[in-house]
Amino acid sequence: MVNFQMIAVQPVLGLTPYQPGKPIEELARELGLDPAKIVKLASNENPLGPSPRALAAMDAALGETARYPDGSGFALKGELARRLGTAPERITLGNGSNDVLDLVARVFLGPGRSAVFSEHAFAVYPIATQAVGAEARVAPAHDGRRGPRYGHDLGAMLDRVADDTTVVFVANPNNPTGTYVTAKELEDFLVALPEWVIAVVDEAYFEYVERDDYPDAVAWLDRFPNLIVTRTFSKAYGLAGLRVGYAVSHPQVAELLNRVRQPFNVNHLALAAAVAALDDGEHLERTRRLNREGLRQLEAAFQRLGLDYIPSIGNFVTVDVGREARPVFDALLREGVIVRPVANYGLPNHLRVSVGTKAENDAFIAALERVLGGL
Please tell me the predicted confidence (pLDDT) of residue 13: 76
Please tell me the predicted confidence (pLDDT) of residue 9: 79
Please tell me the predicted confidence (pLDDT) of residue 319: 98
365 contacts: CB under 8 Å, gap ≥ 6? 297, 298, 301
Please tell me the predicted confidence (pLDDT) of residue 264: 94
- The per-residue pLDDT string of the chain (375 residues; one tens digit each, 9 = 90 and over) reads 877 777 777 777 777 777 777 889 999 998 898 888 999 999 999 999 999 999 999 999 999 999 999 999 999 999 999 999 999 999 999 999 999 999 999 999 999 999 999 999 999 999 999 999 999 999 999 998 888 999 999 999 999 999 999 999 999 999 999 999 999 999 999 999 999 999 999 999 999 999 999 999 999 999 999 999 999 999 999 999 999 999 999 999 999 999 999 999 999 999 999 999 999 999 999 999 999 999 999 999 999 999 999 999 999 999 999 999 999 999 999 999 999 999 999 999 999 999 999 999 999 999 999 999 877
Compute how many other C-beta atoms are within 10 angstroms of the C-beta atom of residue 328: 22
Q: pLDDT tens digits, residue range 10-59?
A: 777 777 777 777 889 999 998 898 888 999 999 999 999 999 999 999 99
**Per the CATH hierarchy, to which homologous superfamily does domain 9-40+282-374 belong?**
Aspartate Aminotransferase, domain 1 (3.90.1150.10)
Domain residue spans of the chain: 9-40+282-374, 52-278
Question: 119-124: long-range contacts (C-beta < 8 A, 24 or more apart)?
Answer: 119/346, 120/150, 120/174, 120/176, 120/177, 120/345, 120/346, 120/347, 121/152, 121/169, 121/171, 121/174, 122/169, 122/171, 122/174, 122/175, 122/202, 123/18, 123/344, 123/345, 124/18, 124/98
Q: Just give the CATH number of 52-278.
A: 3.40.640.10
Please tell me the predicted confidence (pLDDT) of residue 352: 98
Q: pLDDT tens digits, residue range 292-351?
A: 999 999 999 999 999 999 999 999 999 999 999 999 999 999 999 999 999 999 999 999
Please tell me the predicted confidence (pLDDT) of residue 113: 97
Please tell me the predicted confidence (pLDDT) of residue 353: 98
CA dist 18 and 371 (Å) reads 27
- Determine the length of the chain: 375
